[in-house]
Structure 1
Amino acid sequence: MPLAEADIWIGIKNGSEQAFQDLFDVHWQRCFALSYKLLRDREAAEDLVQDVFVDLWTRKKHLLIHNTEAFLTQMVKNRSFITLSRTRIPERNLQLLESLLLESSPEEKLIWNEISISIESAVEQLPPRCKEVFVLRKYEGLSVDEIAEKLNMSIRTVENHLYQAAKFLRNNLNPVMLLLILNKLF
């Protein structure tokens, strides 16, 4: 850690708001850029980075940081992943995975293929009607109304199937594997 940064951390541990402001000023933009790249949502990225710095201030006396940039990068990635895993719009996660796949090395593409296989395997485990609704919505891009009309079911039934599918996939996909991949890529 550069001497000036070491001095900043000493000040932060001693409760210096100015030292904390200096740290914030140096690292905020990079943390925001990473969070925005992962979340693709400006407001969510700003909130996430704000939470990271609030958490730093709250835990300042207990932290032992040797590389501030690496530490903050890891915090932002972890919190971004948690945010993505909680999102109620699974296609955002899939779009993120697809965009990251385009930037990957051959080794990472192999890992991404394994993740795709895991997703497909989980989709295959859905009950038949639930799977049909999910595929029409997520892979064919039909609206809830279009699915209801096509399958001759109520809108509420389609929504229930989508909810059940999302819940099943959240519970059956391995978020740890995805976290490891995100950590490797960034």
Structure 2
Amino acid sequence: MLYQRHFDSVFGYVYKVMQDRETSEDVVQNIFISIWKKPPNLSHPTVLFYLIGAARNQIAKEIRKNKWSKEQLDFIKNTKGICSTDEYLEERETRKLLESGIQKLPAKCRNVFTLSRFSYLSNKQISEKLGISVFTVENHIKRALYLLRQSLEFIVICLVSWC
């Protein structure tokens, strides 16, 4: 059901960046296979946001693997997903909630998380840049993800109780 509901949006996003049908299909296939193998704990409003984020990460891996140009990397950073108006509004609202949650993280945890998720640095690169161990980087990322999930789950519960 997840695949049928969101394949077109995710594929459209990936294809817009990759400009190659075969590569785009492979990237999207990898996303859904990884979800099938290890399903994340997501609520309905965050599913598309998660999938687009997973697509960005898969695209970044593909680009690193194939040594794409800086222009292509910049394009990815500035690209929005292709989806319906409702999905766009839902994604935008979820993004606001996520950004708010990120701002509430402890400073070091927030710094490590943003370097990992938004600057696409590896754990080793982050540890070298900040002068901390890879284990500490992993712990900061785990803590950030835990706190963000808690924050988003609390908001969803509040919204559901209002309806």
- Name the TM-score, length of structure 2 as normaliser: 0.52
Q: Aligned residue for 1:155?
A: 134
- Residue identity opposite 2:149 in structure 1: R
Sort the Cα spacing of 1:128 and 1:33 in 2 relative to 1 into closer, same or farther, 3 A.
Answer: closer
Q: Aligned residue for 1:96?
A: 51
Separation (CA, whole Å) in 1 of partners of 2:49 and 2:143: 18
Which runs of no fewer than 5 residues in structure 2 stay unpaired? 11-30, 56-79
Q: Does structure 2 retain, via aligned residues, the 8 Å contact 1:84–1:93?
A: no
Which runs of no fewer than 5 residues in structure 1 stay unpaired? 1-30, 48-82, 87-91, 181-186
Q: Given the alignment, which residue of 33, 36, 41 partners 1:44?
A: 36
Query: Percent identity, aligned pairs only?
Result: 28
Task: Report Cα offsets for 1:10-61 as digits up to 9, x if no partner.
Answer: xxxxxxxxxxxxxxxxxxxxx585289496117828x9xxxxxxxxxxxxxx
Separation (CA, whole Å) in 1 of partners of 2:97 and 2:146: 16
**Could you list the runs of 4 or more consecutive aligned residues of structure 1 that deviate by over 6 angstroms after TM superposition?**
none
Greater relative contact order: 1 or 2 (C-alpha under 8 angstroms, separation 6 or more)? 2
Q: Given the alignment, which residue of 5, 28, 40 partners 1:84?
A: 40
Q: Aligned residue for 1:80?
A: none
Residue 174 of structure 1 and its aligned partner are, at CA, apart by 3.3
Q: Does structure 1 retain, via aligned residues, the 8 Å contact 2:48–2:91?
A: no
Q: Does structure 1 retain, via aligned residues, the 8 Å contact 2:124–2:134?
A: yes
- Name the TM-score, length of structure 1 as normaliser: 0.46
Separation (CA, whole Å) in 1 of partners of 2:142 and 2:41: 15
- Greater shift, 140-149 or 34-43, is seen at 34-43
Query: What SS does structure 1 have at the residue aligned with 2:127?
Result: helix
Separation (CA, whole Å) in 1 of partners of 2:88 and 2:6: 23
Q: Does structure 2 retain, via aligned residues, the 8 Å contact 1:130–1:164?
A: yes
Equivalent positions of 1:104-119 (< 5 A) are: 104-105=84-85, 107-119=86-98
Sort the Cα spacing of 1:43 and 1:119 in 2 relative to 1 into closer, same or farther, 3 A.
Answer: closer
RMSD, aligned CA: 3.7
Residue 93 of structure 1 and its aligned partner are, at CA, apart by 6.8
Equivalenced residues, count: 107
Q: Aligned residue for 2:120?
A: 141
- Structure exhibiting the larger radius of gyration computed from Cα positions: 1
Q: Aligned residue for 2:4?
A: 34
Residue 148 of structure 1 and its aligned partner are, at CA, apart by 0.3
